């Protein structure tokens, strides 16, 4: 199987003549995963954007190792999302998961046939809607306090000469308490920012998806990510939504709200699982 070419599927769109013609024009100069041209496979009312990929790189066994390779993963994700966003600029699109691979185009066509009613319903539901990402960050104080050096035992004469000299141990504990209080204040402010984003989304967003806050290598910006949400918003209300979110933390020191998008509705689809050729 490794010597053959497999079919990598990116997204589902409607298969009407107008949509497929627009999609083909948009994808004409685009190269997808592994630098391959992207085509459409049609089945009834829906179609999938696909490209051929090498079996030695995208077989089930190869993918188990590849998905642990951050450089390969980033490159593949960029190509994957480029195809989806190119389509999303022309029509309603249902993104498929990264590394959704089939043995050949006939298997893609079969999958579309089995799920065409569900896909068509989702395409109707997402018409003229976009996804916005909203992340709340708490920039917690991180200045570490040095361990207090043991204070020398003063002689009676020295103690008498400087009765007002501060106690180093008490000063250290006071700084520690102040540092802890500053972190707690920032956390409370971040919680308030999260509450505000949820409140400001009412009446604009039609759905919300909660994601796990990003940590470690995924958190590539300063601060602690305390909320990582996605909202589905009618396209006509998209800019109002963005403006509301950007000002949700205006008077909250140490808190930042990051808004990304508009995107295709990545967080609101439930497509077939990827990472296994079928």
Comparison of pLDDT for 270 and 112, the residue scoring more: 112
Residue-wise pLDDT for 60-97, tens only, equals 888 888 888 899 999 999 999 999 999 999 999 999 99
Please tell me the least confidently modeled range out of 121-125, 132-136, 223-227, 269-273. 269-273
**Please, which pLDDT band fits residue 276 given cuts at 50, 70 and 90?**
very low
Domain ranges across the chain: 5-127, 131-146+167-266
Task: Please name the helix (run of DSSP H) or strand (run of DSSP E) that holds residue 263, with its range, or none.
Answer: strand 255-263
- Give Cα separations from 249 to 147, 198, 230 (angstroms): 35, 12, 18
What is the Rg, in whole angstroms, of the alpha carbon atoms belonging to the chain? 27
Question: Under CATH, what is the fold of the domain 131-146+167-266?
Answer: Alpha-Beta Plaits (3.30.70)
Tokens representing 1 are 């199987």
- Cα 260–chain centre separation: 9
Query: How large is the average pLDDT for residues 28-50?
Result: 96
Distance separating alpha carbons of residues 95 and 264, to the nearest angstrom: 7
Q: Are 175 and 145 in contact (CB under 8 A)?
A: yes
* DSSP 8-state assignment for residue 276: S
Residue-wise pLDDT for 158-175, tens only, equals 555 455 556 777 777 777
CA atoms within 13 A on the CB side of 196: 21
The answer, yes or no, to whether residue 3 has pLDDT greater than 80, is no
- Give Cα separations from 241 to 2, 35, 237 (angstroms): 47, 36, 6
**Please, which pLDDT band fits residue 105 given cuts at 50, 70 and 90?**
very high
* DSSP 8-state assignment for residue 183: H
- Give Cα separations from 54 to 101, 108, 126 (angstroms): 11, 16, 33
**Please, which pLDDT band fits residue 1 given cuts at 50, 70 and 90?**
very low
What is the per-residue pLDDT for 161?
46
Centre a 10 Å sphere on the Cβ of residue 273 and count the other Cβ atoms it contains: 11
């Amino acid at each position: 199987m490794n010597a053959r070419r497999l079919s990598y599927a990116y997204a589902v769109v409607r298969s009407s003549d107008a949509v497929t013609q627009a999609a083909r024009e948009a994808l004409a100069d685009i190269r997808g995963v592994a630098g391959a041209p992207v085509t459409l496979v049609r089945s009834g009312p829906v179609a999938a954007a696909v490209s051929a990929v090498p079996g030695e790189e995208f077989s089930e066994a190869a993918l188990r190792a590849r998905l642990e390779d951050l450089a390969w993963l980033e490159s593949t994700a960029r190509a994957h999302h480029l195809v989806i966003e190119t389509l999303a600029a022309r029509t309603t699109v249902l993104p498929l998961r990264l590394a959704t691979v089939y043995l050949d185009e006939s298997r893609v066509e079969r999958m579309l046939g089995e799920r065409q009613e569900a896909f068509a319903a989702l395409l109707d539901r997402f018409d003229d809607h976009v996804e916005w990402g909203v992340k709340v960050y708490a920039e917690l104080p991180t200045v570490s306090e040095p361990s207090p050096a043991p204070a020398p035992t003063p002689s009676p004469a020295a103690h008498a000469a400087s009765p007002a000299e501060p106690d180093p141990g008490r000063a250290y504990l006071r700084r520690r308490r102040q540092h802890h209080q500053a972190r707690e204040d920032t956390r409370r402010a971040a919680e308030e920012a999260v509450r505000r984003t949820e409140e400001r989304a009412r009446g604009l967003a039609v759905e919300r998806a909660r994601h796990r806050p990003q940590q470690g290598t995924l958190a590539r910006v300063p601060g602690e990510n305390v909320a990582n949400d996605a909202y589905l918003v009618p396209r006509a209300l998209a800019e109002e939504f963005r403006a509301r979110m950007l000002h949700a933390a205006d008077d909250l020191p140490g808190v930042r709200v990051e808004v990304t998008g508009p995107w295709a509705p990545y967080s609101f689809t439930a497509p077939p699982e990827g990472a296994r050729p079928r």
